[in-house]
Structure 1
Amino acid sequence: MTQTEILGKMQTVFDDVFLDDVKVAPELSANDVEEWDSLLQISLVLGVEKAFNVRFRVGEVEATKNLGEFADLIQRRMNEGAKA
């Protein structure tokens, strides 16, 4: 799955979590969205884990700077799951 495909699927998660429309893009970060707080971050991570059937380690998601890096992390987790 490419980063573009992952971001497209992430859009569905964002649509479910945020009240306002948030356009998913590789450069988007929490600093760009006023309502994106720690509680919404948890909801996003849980939604992404469910949507992509992956699990993240403590601190991994927080280490990403934007959605592009988050999508790359999702891709790595999916690849690891495929090898298992």
Structure 2
Amino acid sequence: MTRTEILSQINEVFIDTLDNEDIAVEETTRAIDVDEWDSLTHILLVVAIEKKFKISFKSSEIQNWKDVGEMMDCLQEKGI
């Protein structure tokens, strides 16, 4: 799967989870850039992404993410 395809699917997860059709995440998007992305929704986003891609993240992986691009890197390391 290409990074563009991964980003598109992640964006769908963000739209569905945060219930905001106007969200358009990029690789450089951070939690501070999205009003609805707080600590609780972060957990919901992680769970939704795990379900979408049928993978599991370790807590150490999640803690190291600074932006969507690092989340994508982790997905690619898992073979997505």
The two structures have a TM-score, normalised by structure 2, of: 0.89
Gaps of 5+ in 2: none
Q: Contact 1:26–1:67 (CA<8 Å) still a contact in 2? A: yes
Gaps of 5+ in 1: 80-84
Runs of 4 or more, structure 1, over 2 Å off, are none
Rounded Cα–Cα distance in structure 2 between residues aligned with 1:18 and 1:2: 24
- Greater C-alpha Rg: 1
The two structures have a TM-score, normalised by structure 1, of: 0.85
Q: How does 1:67-82 map to 2 (within 5 A)?
A: 67-78=68-79
RMSD: 1.3
Q: Give identity over the alignment, percent.
A: 41
Q: Deviations over 1:39-84 (max 9, x none)?
A: 10011000000000110011212201111111110111136xxxxx
Given residue 10 of structure 1, which amino acid in structure 2 is its aligned partner? Answer: I
Q: How does 1:19-38 map to 2 (within 5 A)?
A: 19-20=19-20, 21-38=22-39
